[in-house]
Amino acid sequence: MKKFIGFMLICTSLVFAQYGYGVVPGAVIEETDNGAINYSQGIITATGIGAIPEYAVNAAQARAMAIRAAKTDARRQLVEMVNGITLTSETTMRNRMADEVVKESVSGVIRGAYQVGETRYLSDTSVEVTMAVSMSGISEIVTPATGFAAPVTAEEAATSTAPVAEHVSAAAATGIIIDTRGLGIRPAMAPKIFDANMGTIYGPGNYTREYAVTNGVAGYSKSLEAAQEDMRVKGNPLVVKATSVTGANRTDVVIANEDVMKINQANSANNVLRDCRVLFLLD
């Protein structure tokens, strides 16, 4: 059964050291028996097991064949992990994988999966391997080509600087943290934010496709302290409390109209929405 787990720093270093990568404090992870979707870091991992074949002619060949079988099994598990990704309030990757073009493209991404951590040799002589893919590769496939804010110009990129202020104000905000604690929100690749009248405050028309694919539409954290230090919003993030969750998949939130003004002010000053500098704080 899937469960959402917030790992604190000490726990993550112990649990994930064997896999050869670290997990940030407060990371939001959807875990299954054979893998995990790390929505905070945009990484999907799966573990495969390979048995040593009886027909191997020597120990070296046996080990190589077992490792190859484990990687094949891990990639098969990755397909299941990708199928479980929530895209929007209404759509999952399983829905999109019904499209043969999408399915084949995703298969190509998974064929390019990389190993994380060391190969683990089990007591029954089988081997275990963990493979990973970036969620950005999946996002590139399923993100539409149109319907987004205009791309960042070279001039804008050259002159963009993050303001630094002693006290956070909407005008000086370097990002937006949406506090959804207590609402039972689920992470997704493309969440939305609505005002009290269900007008869209944050959706595809507010950010560029480039940022959405490369950095993800939003970040996730289970720790306010970790969220404030996340590079997506670090500096002077503005914290806004969500009032409710909406959508069939419980991925979108509603905020009070007075907070809409603060977000719009921050966006006008620093393009925080266009640059996907939005992070959701979960339980």
Q: What is the pLDDT of residues 1-55, one digit of tens each?
A: 444 333 323 233 333 433 335 678 889 999 988 899 999 999 999 999 998 877 7
At residue 131, what are phi and psi to the nearest 5 degrees?
A: -115, 155
Q: Which amino acid is at 176?
A: I
Give the residue-averaged pLDDT of 248-276: 94
CB 2 within 8 A of CB 84: yes
Environment class of residue 170 by beta-carbon count within 10 Å: exposed (0-12), middle (13-18) or buried (19+)? buried
Once rounded to an integer, what is the mean pLDDT over residues 68-86?
94
CA atoms lying within 13 Å on the CB side of residue 251: 23
Q: At what angle do helices 100-111 and 59-83 cross, to 10 degrees?
A: 140
* Whole-number Å distance between alpha carbons of 88 and 113: 24
Rounded distance, CA 72 to CA 64, Å? 12
What is the pLDDT, as a whole number, of residue 243? Answer: 97
The reported pLDDT for the residue numbered 9 is 31
For the chain, the helix, strand and coil percentages under 3-state DSSP, each to the nearest 5: 35, 25, 40
Tokens standing for residue 50:
């390979």
Task: Determine the pLDDT at residue 41.
Answer: 92
Give the per-residue pLDDT at 20: 39
Q: What is the pLDDT of residue 7?
A: 33
For residue range 175-203, what is the model confidence (pLDDT) as tens digits?
999 999 999 999 999 999 999 999 999 99
Q: In angstroms, rounded to a whole number, what is the distance separating the alpha carbons of residues 217 and 208?
A: 9
For 108-158, write each residue's pLDDT tens digit. 999 999 999 999 998 888 899 999 999 999 999 999 999 999 886 656 655
Q: What is the pLDDT of residues 220-235, one digit of tens each?
A: 999 999 999 999 999 9
Give residue 107's Cα distance to chain centre: 19
- Tell me the per-residue pLDDT of 88-117, one tens digit each, with 9 for 90 and over: 999 999 999 999 999 999 999 999 999 999
- Residue 35 burial (10 A CB sphere; 0-12, 13-18, 19+): buried
Q: What is the pLDDT of residue 55?
A: 77
The C-alpha atoms of residue 243 and residue 254 are separated, in whole angstroms, by 6
- What's the pLDDT score for residue 195? 97
Across the chain, mean pLDDT equals: 86
Please tell me the distance from the alpha carbon of residue 108 to that of residue 4, in angstroms, as a whole number: 28
Task: Report the interhelical angle of 135-142 vs 100-111 (nearest 10°).
Answer: 160
Q: Is residue 242's pLDDT more than 60?
A: yes
71 pLDDT higher than 50: yes
pLDDT given at position 73: 96
Segment 159-179, tens digit of pLDDT: 554 444 344 466 689 999 999
When pLDDT is averaged across residues 254-266 and rounded to a whole number, the result is 95
Sheet holding 278-281, edge to edge: 200-202, 193-194, 252-255, 237-246, 175-179, 278-281, 219-221
Which residue has better confidence, 58 or 212?
A: 212
In whole angstroms, give the CA distance from residue 106 to residue 82. Answer: 9
Task: Tell me whether residue 219 is exposed, middle or buried, using C-beta atoms within 10 angstroms of its C-beta: 0 to 12, 13 to 18, 19 or more.
Answer: buried
- For β-strands 35-38 and 27-31, DSSP reports them as antiparallel
What per-residue confidence (pLDDT) applies to 185? 96
